[in-house]
Amino acid sequence: MIEEKEKRGLTISLCIPTLNEEKTIGKEVVLFKSELVDRYPLLDEIAVIDSGSTDRTIEVAASFGASVYLSADILPHMGFKRGKGENLWKAIYQLQGDIIVYVDADIKNIHPRFVYGLVAPLIYRPEIKYVKAFYDRPLALSKEIRPSGGGRVTEILVRPLFSLFFPELTAIIQPLSGEYAVRREILERIPFPVGYGVETSHLIDVYDGWGIEAFAQTDLDKRVHRHQATRDLGKMSFGILRTFLKRLKSKGIIKDLPELTPFLRQFQAREDHYEQIIHEIVEEERPPMIEVPEYRAKRGLE
Amino acid sequence: MSANLVETENFEQIRDRVRKLPFELERYRELLLANVIMLGEIPAPTFHEQERIHLLEQRFNECGLQNCSIDEKGNGAAIIPGTRGDTTILLTAHADTPFPASLDHTLTLEPDRIVGPGIADNSLGIAVLATLPTMLEGLGIRLSSDILLMGAVKSLNEGNQEGLRFFLSNAERPITAALAVEGVQLGRLNYRSRASLGGEIACVADNAHEEVSALDVLNQIIYRLRKIHLPQESETRLILGYIEGGVTYKTPARKARLKFQLSSDSDQTIIDITEKIDSVIHELSKEYRVSIDFNIIARTRYGGLDPQHFLVLQARRVLTTLGIHPGSNAYSSVISGFVENEIPAMCVGITTGENLNYPDERIDISPIMKGVAQLIGLLLSIDGGCCAGHQ
């Protein structure tokens, strides 16, 4: 694979977006650096892009040899928006690779396959632009561990929406997986919601621009991560739905849409009464990076 | 020039080299940690170590070692060729852990420690084996002896060191000396083995005919075992380590089981006491009309190196040079397999750690390279001829 990568003159960057991931980031950095930089030189760069962790994430990642960037320090004049999508977007500016691999930082059973499994289709098949991970159910099931594959938000929200509006995208087994590898030429041309909707919007935009043929999927076996509370999944669903509706409107699939509120209302029980909690979930979007003058200058684009 | 003077000069050279090693080894920290994680996250309960051994073997192959192979018991071995290759030093670590495959084997890497089942016993040890060839090559250290690296299977508890024993009794090349690597504790220096017997007594009562509880029978067995005289001159000890029985508090237990260890400084004492245990069981099974089985699950033999053996003295010097305080306990069951095959052997630990054999087992990262340095120092010492005998 490395021979083929070198033959094609490709460079590959790994981006790990973080926010308070001190428990898992060290292992990811050590494994990827040792196995995929030192032992097998598949990766040219490992970068952690942090949203402002208050734990030891930055210290741990740096101590094990990752390049660590604060999201707020990248393109500072464009401001800082809190959200994973912001880090992924800024990685396009900061990192050098022709291919960027995104791997979440909260994976307990991290393994080099999370990277080599994703980049292989891009190395061997020039027509592939975007490679998405999917997983089997983890063997170790406990109160803390749940399968990422076919997760609740995927099955209850995203898959029904794709079935209704983009049937071909239902071929993507795990549309919300946080692990994917993409060619720069694609990444720089798509907008990035900064929050929960980033993966969903990617799929719609890449499908719209390059067709279903641009996608490949890799079976990464198992992914074990922290279980998320149902209330948090509600927030995620809200963000995804807002992004999705916005895409439907911008593509003319639906025409009339009222102004969408950024407020999600949930209830929680306290002693003998219920109280309402209001979350403000703003799904802002970053423009395609290729429209940013600093990026064009940095990459020498006319 | 006298032999002692030559040895002193050799040691001075080795000591100078060893002193610098922890610093030089730091650049291999990530490589070693990655191997610890990759090997340690593969469950390897005793008798089911194949997948872990396959990765070890893959690592040996990647390092370009010679004779990479997995034997019929499942041990994984390879050779780092020496410049002369007329002698062989065995470096071994057991691959198995006491945890079932169903347990989550995910390890957590923190800046200063690693936490997870089996990390100390013995994922770190096996990872050192996997990483050492790269370290030695990078440091430009090449011994005149061949180094035979071997990940041993079926070691713990009922495994009774089956993998190591098989390997040693079928080794085609004579082994000059052996080093066994354990994850913890740094400073351990075991070179002797006590005679011991691991036993299991299983009692089955047939409650269709009698309301006898297997627990009552087991209680009687324990009472009688405690009555057996344990000779103090041979420091004979009986440890009752594990007991289980019954299914509910409402009915007499149908089955009960006890595991114990008998240890002594005399092989004959173990034989004598084993006969007494046999007769206790025979009597009680007749008295209570129940079935009682006595199985031997592990055995070790008394013996090993003398405290004044050059290898022991040199090992103490190597540890002291690195600022490691050598422990006072010379005994470990790990040494027994070597005693049986008359191979001078020593067991060392790589780092400090705690919660051994619990799921939250942990090891400290910062002392690891000192532990690896001690290992290289011992290899250099053995290669330099310090296995010759007594001072």
Q: What is the pLDDT of residue A271?
A: 83
Q: Is the pLDDT of residue B388 over 80?
A: no
Residue B41's region, left for phi above 0, alpha for psi from -120 to 50, else beta, is alpha
B129, B177, B193, B325 from B186: Cα distances, Å: 16, 20, 19, 9
Query: Residue A266, SS3?
Result: strand
Substitution target from A25, A31, A224, A227 for chain B, most B beta carbons within 10 A: A31
Q: Which of A30, A39, A65 sits opposite B37 (nearest CB)?
A: A30
Tell if the CB–CB gap between B104 and A224 is shorter than 8 Å. Answer: yes
Claim to verify: residue B184 and residue B306 sit in the same structural domain = yes
User: What are the pLDDT digits (tens) for B15-28?
Assistant: 899 999 999 999 99
Interface test with B, best of A32, A34, A35, A227 (most B CBs within 10 A): A34
B290, B312: one domain: no
Facing residue for A31 by CB, picked from B34, B108, B110? B34
More confident residue, A72 or B289: A72
Residue A223: the pLDDT is: 74
As its CATH architecture, domain A2-299 has Alpha-Beta Complex (3.90)
B231 in the same domain as B89: no
The answer to whether A265 and A277 are in contact (CB under 8 A) is yes
**B109 phi and psi angles, rounded to 5 deg:** -100, 115
Indicate the angle between helix axes B3-25 and B368-383, nearest 10 degrees: 150
What the block records as the tokens of A111 is: 């393994």
**Closest C-alpha among B223, B341, B198, B196 to residue B281:** B223
Q: Hey, are the CB atoms on A59 and B111 less than 8 Å from each other?
A: yes
Chain B contact set for A142 (CB, 8 A): 104
What pLDDT score does B101 carry? 95
Are A23 and B37 an interchain contact pair (Cβ–Cβ within 8 Å)?
no
Q: Pick the residue from chain A with its C-alpha nearest to B41.
A: A109
Is B9 domain-assigned? yes
Name which of A38, A142, A145 is nearest B31 (Cβ-Cβ): A38
Q: Which of B34, B103, B110 sits opposite A34 (nearest CB)?
A: B34
Contact yes or no for A31 and B37 at CB 8 A: yes
Same domain (yes/no): B310, B287: no
The DSSP 8-state label assigned to residue A123 in this structure reads H
Say which amino acid occupies B196: S
Task: Sort out which chain B residues have CB atoms less than 8 A from A63's CB and list them.
Answer: 111
Give residue B209's pLDDT.
61
Tens-digit pLDDT profile for residues B290-328: 999 999 999 999 999 999 998 999 999 999 999 999 999
Provide the number of structural domains found in chain B. 2
Place of tokens 């916005």: A246
> How far apart are alpha carbons B315 and B327 in whole angstroms?
11
On whether both B103 and B244 belong to a single domain, the answer is no
Query: How far lies B310's CA from each of B147, B385, B388, in Å?
Result: 20, 9, 7
Residue A224 C-alpha, separation from nearest chain B C-alpha, in angstroms: 9
Nearest to B110 among A26, A31, A33 (CB): A26
Where do the DSSP E strands lie in A43-129?
45-50, 67-70, 99-102
Between A and B, how many CB-CB pairs are < 8 A?
A: 56
Chain A residue numbers touching B27 (CB-CB < 8 A):
none
A42 and chain B in contact, CB less than 8 A: no
Task: Name which of A26, A39, A109 is nearest B109 (Cβ-Cβ).
Answer: A26
> Which chain A residue's Cα is nearest to B111?
A60
Contacts of B71 (CB under 8 A, 6+ apart): B77, B166, B167, B170
Which chain A residue has the Cα nearest residue B112? A60
Mean pLDDT of B146-162: 95
Whether residues B214 and B91 share a domain: the answer is no
CA distance B276 to chain A (A): 46
- Region label for A277, one of left (φ > 0), alpha (ψ between -120 and 50) or beta (otherwise): beta
Q: Worst-scoring range by mean pLDDT, A159-168, A176-185, B203-212, B247-256?
A: B203-212
Average pLDDT for chain B: 93
- SS3 of residue A54 by DSSP: coil
Q: What is the mean pLDDT of residues B240-263?
A: 94
Clarify whether residues B31 and B171 are in a common domain: yes
Per DSSP (E only), the strands in A39-103 are 45-50, 67-70, 99-102
Give whole-number Cα distances, B201 to B115, B204, B216, B219, in Å.
Answer: 34, 10, 14, 12
- State the amino acid at position B148 in one-letter form: L
- Cβ distance B31 to A224 less than 8 Å, yes or no, reads no
Q: Is residue B175 part of a domain?
A: yes
User: Cβ separation of A27 and B108 shorter than 8 Å?
Assistant: yes
Q: What is the pLDDT of residues B348-358, one digit of tens each?
A: 999 999 999 99
- Interface pTM, i.e. ipTM: 0.76
Q: Is the dihedral of CA A153, A154, A160, A162 positive or negative?
A: positive
The H or E element spanning position A94 is helix A84-94
Q: Which helix (H) or strand (E) holds A264?
A: strand A263-270
Looking at the fold, whether B212 and B100 belong to one and the same domain comes out as no
Residues of A in contact with B110 (CB under 8 A): 22-23, 26, 60
B389 in any annotated domain: no
Cβ separation A142–B37 shorter than 8 A? no
Report yes or no: B80 and B136 within 8 Å, Cβ to Cβ: yes
The verdict on A39 touching B (C-beta cutoff 8 Å) is: yes
| A26 in contact with chain B, both atoms CB, cutoff 8 A | yes
Domain that holds residue B228: 196-300
Could you tell me if A279 and A229 are in contact, meaning their C-beta atoms sit under 8 angstroms apart? no
Q: Give the minimum alpha-carbon distance from B372 to chain A in angstroms, rounded to a whole number.
A: 18
Sites in chain A below the pLDDT cut of 70: 136-150, 224-226
The last residue of a domain, from among B281, B300, B319: B300
Query: How far is the C-alpha of B266 from the C-alpha of B233, rounded, in Å?
Result: 10
Is residue B7 predicted with pLDDT exceeding 90? no
Minimal Cα–Cα distance from A45 to chain B, Å?
16
Interface subset of A 122-181, CB within 8 angstroms of B: 139-140, 142, 145
Strand arrangement, sheet containing A99-102: A67-70, A45-50, A12-18, A99-102, A180-183, A130-136, A215-222
| Locus of tokens 């040079």 | B321
Asked if the structure places residue B391 within a domain, the reply is no
Please tell me whether residues B177 and B247 are part of one structural domain. no
The 3 state secondary structure assigned to chain B is CCHHHHHHHHHHHHHHHHHHHHHHHHHHHHHHHHHHHHHHCCCCECCCCHHHHHHHHHHHHHCCCEEEEECCCCCEEEEECCCCCCCEEEEEEECCECCCCCCCCCCEECCCEEECCCHHHHHHHHHHHHHHHHHHHHHCCCCCCEEEEEEECCCCHHHCCHHHHHHHHHCCCCCCEEEEEEEECCCCEECEECEEEEEEEEEECCCCCCCCCHHHHHHHHHHHHHHCCCCCCCCCEEEEEEEEECCCCCCCCCEEEEEEEEEECCHHHHHHHHHHHHHHHHHHHHHHCCEEEEEEEEEECCEECCCCEHHHHHHHHHHHHCCCCCCCCCECHHHHHHHHCCCCEEEEEEECEECCCCCCCEEECCCHHHHHHHHHHHHHHHHCCCCCCEC
Mutate which: A22, A27, A106, vs B, most B CBs within 10 A: A27
CA of B119 vs chain A CAs: smallest distance (Å): 14
Give residue B49's region: left, alpha or beta (phi > 0; psi -120 to 50).
alpha
Say yes or no: B333 and B289 in one domain: no
Taking residue A46's Cβ as centre, other Cβ atoms within 10 Å add up to 25
Q: What percent of chain B has pLDDT over 70?
A: 95
Among B258, B280, B300, give the residue marking a domain's end.
B300
Which residues of chain B does A35 touch, with a Cβ-Cβ cutoff of 8 Å?
34, 38
β-strands B146-152, B88-94 pairing: parallel
Asked whether the predicted pLDDT for residue B2 surpasses 50, the reply is no
CB contact under 8 A, A23 and B33: no
For B106, the closest of A35, A39, A108 (CB atoms) is A108
- Interface touch B30/A38, C-beta < 8 Å: yes
Do B154 and B7 belong together in one domain? yes
Q: How far is B57 from chain A (nearest CA, A)?
A: 16
Give the HSE-up count for residue B372: Cα atoms under 13 Å, Cβ half-sphere: 31
Q: Residue B391 has what pLDDT?
A: 47
CB-CB contact of A112 with A12 (8 Å): no
Q: Are residues B25 and B117 in the same domain?
A: yes
The chain B residue lying nearest A32, using CA atoms, is B34
